[in-house]
Amino acid sequence: MNLAVWKYRYAIVFGFFLLWMTFFDRNSFIYRISLAGDINELEESIEEHETRIRDLRIQKKDLFGNAQNLEKFAREKYLMKKDGEDIFVIVDP
């Protein structure tokens, strides 16, 4: 019996090490896999935000680059008007 354990001592130690690293260690393989998933989600979120920022900067440049565009935006978005004008809002049912 003692000879069989002694014969496979490296396999037993390696198996114990794998078991420990998979489940019990603070930086286990399962924890590292979940962190990798979180990192991928955050990187995708960064890319989405960067494209949104780029689009908003283009919109800002177009909006403030021309007084007519600014006036059009204010009239459409915020329903602003000049003195003496009446605004009629048509809403689709």
**Per-residue model confidence as pLDDT tens digits over 36-88:** 999 999 999 999 999 999 999 998 888 888 888 888 888 888 878 778 887 77
pLDDT tens figures, 37-46: 999 999 999 9
For 4, phi then psi, to 5°, come to: -70, -40
Alpha carbon distance 59, 65 (integer Å): 10
Say whether pTM exceeds 0.85. Answer: no
Q: What is the DSSP letter of 54?
A: H
Closest among 86, 65, 62, 87 to 76, alpha carbons compared = 87
The full set of domain ranges for the chain reads 2-78
The token duo for 20 is: 């420990």
**Four-residue CA torsion sign, 46, 50, 56, 59:** negative
Single-letter residue type at 73:
F
